[in-house]
Structure 1
Amino acid sequence: MSTSATVGTALARAFAGHFGRDPDGVWQAPGRVNLIGEHTDYNDGLVLPFAIDRATTVAVAARADRTVRMASGFPGAEPAGFDLDAFAPEQAAGWSAYPAGVAWELERAGVAVPGFDLFVTSEVPVGAGLSSSAALECAVALALSDLTGAGLGRADLADIGRRAENNVVGAPTGIMDQSASMLGTRDCAVYLDCRDLTSRPVPLGLEDSGLRCLVIDTKVSHAHASGGYADRRASCVRGAQGMGVAALRDLEAADLPRARRALDDVTFRRVRHIVTENERVARTAELLGTHGPLAIGELLDASHRSMRDDFEISCPELNLAVDTARASGAIGARMTGGGFGGSAIALVPADDVDRARSAVLAAFAARGLRAPDIFTVLPAKGARRL
């Protein structure tokens, strides 16, 4: 892993090589791991993510006109550009839709965005459920806020990123990913109430407890702008309507017997996941404060079972990763992210990390599956200017 200073220097050099001038600055925003609280964010619920020590970095320079030029260090990523005065969301496509959406939403929020040149690189795996999109959105949002002197707060910038993803990219995600990327602090998770957007840091203490957070990227890619994610969100809306509440956040476990009678089986199981997941998030935050991370393993396991059986967003590769990690020393494991692929996480005693990694690789090989990418992450600080 490169240091931020090294990445910033290299990116400024790449920017100058591509655009023929120096950037005005370099900004960085991290990906995130969601410790617990899946699909609760767009139901006004509770989440507990943390920013990770893998980030997206952007070099940006303002222009005197209204032209935007964008380039990327990603292999095969084509340069893109547009005129701010002529841009419409339906024109956005590919990776450039994310920074374009941020610029568009900042303008809709009243920020006078100039034309700009942008060069981006990233250490956040794409399609792995670690919020590479939110990292890009937040890095660009912070850069444009700084360059324009808009002075927007971090919660506001997180919302700009969410709106870009919803309204321009077309992915019906909630606010969790951007909030984790903007609000993250070292060795802490972000306990976020997605109804009133209040948040507080929750110390994790993984290293002090001898634990590591192991990420198992199954390499099964997903896309939030289509398919199952949107279907699950629609199911939650139907469930809330069927129960006569504004959002599933308004339901508690005591309401589940009535939900079973009022809803069809599939919708009921979607509702049950959200209701019980909110309770698991609150309990996890409580246990972290009183007993530390060694006490939360069963809650992670229960969360995965709920996503596998009730919300049905797991896949065979994620289940294999979780089951194998659990059998190889992990105190708890679950899929993380929107589902249908991506990554699993496992809290593993430091002495068992190599054993767990080897066991997962062997299990995938035995089934003829593509080898997953397995690495540890640390809770890191949120978006910043380098």
Structure 2
Amino acid sequence: MNFEEIYDATPDGTWEAPGRVNLIGEHTDYNEGFVMPLALPHTCRVEAARREDGVLRLHSADIGKGVVQLRLDALAPGSPEAGNWAAYPAGVAWALREAGLGVGGADLHFTSTVPVGAGLSSSAALEVSTALALNDLYGLALRPEQLARISQRAENAFVGVPSGIMDQMASACCTAGHALHLDTRDLTQRQVPFDLAAQGLRLLVVDTRVSHALGDGEYAARRAGCEEGARALGVQALRDVSFEGLDAALERLDDPVVRGYVRHVVTEDRRVERAIGLLDAGETRAVGPVLTEGHVSLRDDFQVSSPELDLAVDTANGAGALGARMTGGGFGGSAIVLLEESETDKIGEAVNSAFAAAGYLAPHLFEAVPSAGARPL
């Protein structure tokens, strides 16, 4: 069904926002560190029209459970009527109003090509597309980074997932052909050219089809552990622990789990810096081993990998990839593989065969092409 069939009206406009993969810099965003995501060509698209009665109506072509109808003045975190997927766009409307912005009612119809539960930020695409649509419908003139902040507040305070800012900033601010080098403390950003095709390279996404759910407590536990480490070390955030002073810092921590979290975050920030230096020097192939180092750290120190992700990474590297790692929050989802274009079929076949031999679901493999951020259509 399209917008006209659902709402018996014509939309005022259409907007879309992409999912993302993160090249390097995992679980560093809520530690005020560095990340480097890129937007995918997969997007969440929303058709929308203003309403003048304070009612928000939401419909998803992909979930197909009918229209969710809410009153804006009744929205609050934990609202049972805004449960499941509808909490994300409802939370954006709530966050805009909480910020004192003049947002009224709207009819919204969503379609998405971002795989859900694959660690590719389908929720951020849903939030940012909603924020951009309401921004334009009500003439709010918010900048992309402001839309990202509003979207993050929706996810944190309304939905209840304590995510960092990376996913929303990637969806709102990425540009085609580039990776986004982002300092999550002050949102300083730089678009880094990332034209793999011109160098005979590809970035392959391996969606393990093991759905992850960041609201199940494991993600929150990692964040709480990082905050505990920062308090114990007397710093605002783990970003303030220097790489050179890491060994001394670790000696001050009694909890071995927290020690692993701290070691991952500090070394991961350093890996982002290394990757940037290599890309700036035109040594893109040398980024591969940095990716693999990041996976080992996420697996062993941060403990957020899974058997399927480990198999994807190990198999790809064993078949000749330049490097590979899990991407996203973990506990399932996707891995990325940096490889020579000429090796794509061989490595893809190796991963498929390994999953079949292990009795896992067949993974979904596709190329990550650096794409544009949120935009009107």
Give the corresponding residue for 2:77. Answer: 89
The separation in 2 between residues aligned to 1:160 and 1:121, in whole angstroms, is 21
* 3-state secondary structure, aligned to 2:320: coil
Distance 1:77 1:250 in 2: 46
Corresponding residue of 1:51: 39
Match of 1:184 among 174, 183, 194: 174
- For the pair 1:230 / 2:220, whether they are aligned, the reply is yes
The 10-residue stretch of structure 1 (218-227 or 233-242) with the greater mean CA deviation from structure 2: 218-227
Q: How far apart, in 1, do the equivalents of 2:215 and 2:303 lie?
A: 18
What letter is aligned with 2:349? S
**CA–CA separation in structure 2 for the residues paired with 1:132 and 1:101:** 15
User: Following the alignment from structure 1 to structure 2, what is the Cα–Cα distance between the partners of residues 326 and 112?
Assistant: 52
C-alpha distance in structure 1 between counterparts of 2:21 and 2:5, whole Å: 33
State whether residues 28 and 55 of structure 1, in contact with CA within 8 Å, keep that contact through their aligned partners in structure 2.
yes
Instruction: Give the gaps of 5 or more residues in structure 2.
Output: none
Confirm or deny: 8 A CA contact 1:204 1:292 kept in the other structure: no
Alignment pair present for 1:258 and 2:248? yes
Q: 1:273 to 1:23 in 2, by over 3 A?
A: same
1:42 aligned partner: 30
**How many aligned positions are there?**
374
Match of 1:305 among 283, 296, 301: 296
Deviation (angstroms), 1:195: 0.7
Matching residue of 1:127: 117
Displacement of 1:196 in angstroms is 0.9
Q: Is the Cα contact below 8 Å between 2:298 and 2:305 reproduced in 1? A: yes
CA distance in 2, matches of 1:77, 1:377: 31
Deviation at 1:255, TM superposition (A): 2.2
| Equivalent residue, structure 1, for 2:282 | 291
SS of match in other structure, 1:74: coil
SS at structure 2 position matched to 1:212: strand
Deviation at 1:209, TM superposition (A): 1.1
Q: Normalising to structure 2: TM-score of the pair?
A: 0.97
Deviations 1:140-174 (A, max 9, x none): 10000001000000110000110000001100000
Match of 2:307 in 1: 316
**SS of structure 2 residue aligned to 1:90:** coil
SS of 2:276's partner is helix
Quote the Cα distance in structure 1 between the aligned partners of 2:295 and 2:145.
Answer: 29
Matched, 1:339 2:327: no
After superposition, the Cα gap between the structure-2 partners of 1:201 and 1:87, relative to the gap in structure 1 and judged at 3 Å, is same
- Equivalent residue letter for 1:82: L
Provide the residue aligned with 1:98 in structure 2: 88
Between stretches 248-257 and 53-62, larger displacement belongs to 248-257
Residue in 2 aligned with 1:353?
A: 344
Partner of 1:61: 49
AA at the equivalent of 1:330? A
**Percent sequence identity over aligned pairs:** 53
- Give the whole-Å Cα distance in 2 for the aligned partners of 1:275 and 1:119: 42
* Matching residue within 97, 118, 137 for 1:107: 97
Over aligned residues, Cα RMSD in angstroms?
Answer: 1.0
Tell me, what secondary structure is at the counterpart of 1:157?
helix
Q: CA deviation at 1:258?
A: 2.1
Cα pair 1:219 1:341 within 8 Å, conserved: yes
Q: Report the CA distance between 1:89 and its aligned residue.
A: 1.4
Q: Which residue of the partner structure matches residue 79 of structure 1?
A: 67
Distance apart, 1:78 and its partner CA:
4.1
SS of match in other structure, 2:245: helix
Q: Displacement of 1:371 after TM fit?
A: 0.9
Q: Secondary structure at the match of 2:215?
A: coil
SS at structure 2 position matched to 1:133: helix
Q: Distance in 1 between matches of 2:66 and 2:162?
A: 25
**Inter-partner Cα distance in structure 2 for 1:78 and 1:119:** 11
Partner SS for 1:253: coil
Aligned with 2:374 (options 339, 358, 383):
383
Q: Deviations over 1:262-290 (max 9, x none)?
A: 11211111100000000000111111011
In structure 2, give the amino acid aligned to 1:308.
Answer: R
Deviation for aligned residue 1:75: 3.9
CA distance in 1, matches of 2:316, 2:234: 40
Instruction: Please state whether the residue corresponding to 2:120 is helix, strand or coil.
Output: coil
Which has the larger displacement, 337-346 or 102-111?
102-111
Moved more, 225-234 or 301-310: 225-234
Distance in 1 of aligned mates of 2:66 and 2:25: 35
1:270 aligned to 2:258?
A: no
- Aligned residue number for residue 363 of structure 1: 354
Q: Structure 1: give runs of 5+ residues left out of the alignment.
A: 1-12
> Which of 167, 183, 186 is equivalent to 1:193?
183
Q: Which amino acid aligns with 2:61?
A: G
Instruction: Give the distance between the partners of 2:355 and 2:101, measured in 1 at CA.
Output: 49
Amino acid aligned to 1:329: G
1:373: Cα distance to partner? Answer: 0.9
